[in-house]
Amino acid sequence: MSNDNFRRELNRAFEAMTGPPSPALAARVRSALNEKAPARPRPFWVAGLAAALIAAIVIRVFVVANFNRHLTSVVPGTLPSASPSGAATPTADSSLPAFACNSFLAFVTDTTTAPQPPVAFIDAVHTGTHSGYDRITIEFQNGHPSSIELRTQNNSTFTQGASGQNVTLAGSAGLLVVIKRADEHTAYSEATDFKTNYPVLLEARQMEDFEGTVQWGLGLSKSACYRAFVLTNPTRLVIDIQSS
């Protein structure tokens, strides 16, 4: 019999008595029944639901912590390094052309991939020294010139194109750079004579800037092999003179 039915039966029994018991007695009986009544067991599904919720919380905490760990970790070598666009940008030696020791080298711009402007404006000239070679870079503001020629010579005396005067640069050998359909006075206003005192490139001087032809004379400490190539973004001629 349930507790409720039992209490109702006791109430009816008290009321059937000829002399009803005192109210205190009824209250004491009811209090005793309430204190000793066993707690109703919770249904099994409540316990199962609680366990499932706890498990879900634990799994979520683990997943979030693991995700944050991977998000904040840095994998070496995955971040792209910035590539400077200025002249004399370092380039891996394995990707550069081999040094040549011939007396004449000519470049003709490929117009199918690099349209030529009517005049290529030179806007920067830089020099630098590196392990195994010295470098000069001539940068163009608006694209490739029509042609570039390099000529070696066994002395460091050059002829200025406009005046016809001879100029002797530092060193005992030379390299002449001739650039066609180029202009070095419109966009360039920096130095035209670099006394570098590098291992092999001792001096670089502008020899001509007249009627679409620009020439630079390079005074070398010795006859040396060289390499030349054109890079883009920005367009620039890079000349390396081997020093060892």
pLDDT tens digits for range 119-178: 999 999 999 999 999 999 999 999 989 999 999 999 999 999 878 899 999 999 999 999
Structure tokens, 22: 């005192």
Mean local confidence (pLDDT), 11-35? 51
Please report the pLDDT score of residue 199 as a whole number.
97
pLDDT tens digits for range 58-113: 455 444 444 333 332 222 222 222 223 333 334 445 688 889 887 787 877 665 56
What does the radius of gyration of the chain's CA atoms come to, in whole angstroms?
47
Question: DSSP strand E in the chain: where?
Answer: 104-108, 120-130, 133-140, 147-153, 157-159, 166-168, 173-180, 182-183, 193-195, 201-210, 213-220, 226-231, 236-242
Label residue 183 by pLDDT band (50, 70, 90). very high
The amino acid sitting at 166 is N
Please report the pLDDT score of residue 230 as a whole number.
92
What CA–CA distances, in Å, run from 166 to 5, 6, 31, 217?
130, 131, 127, 11
Q: Is the pLDDT of residue 14 over 50?
A: no
Structure tokens, 33: 């029944």
pLDDT tens digits for range 92-101: 456 888 898 8
For residue 220, the cross-strand partners are: 173, 201
Please report the pLDDT score of residue 74 as a whole number.
27
pLDDT tens digits for range 192-239: 999 998 999 999 999 999 999 999 999 999 999 999 999 999 999 999
Whole-structure pTM value:
0.61
Mean local confidence (pLDDT), 41-54? 56
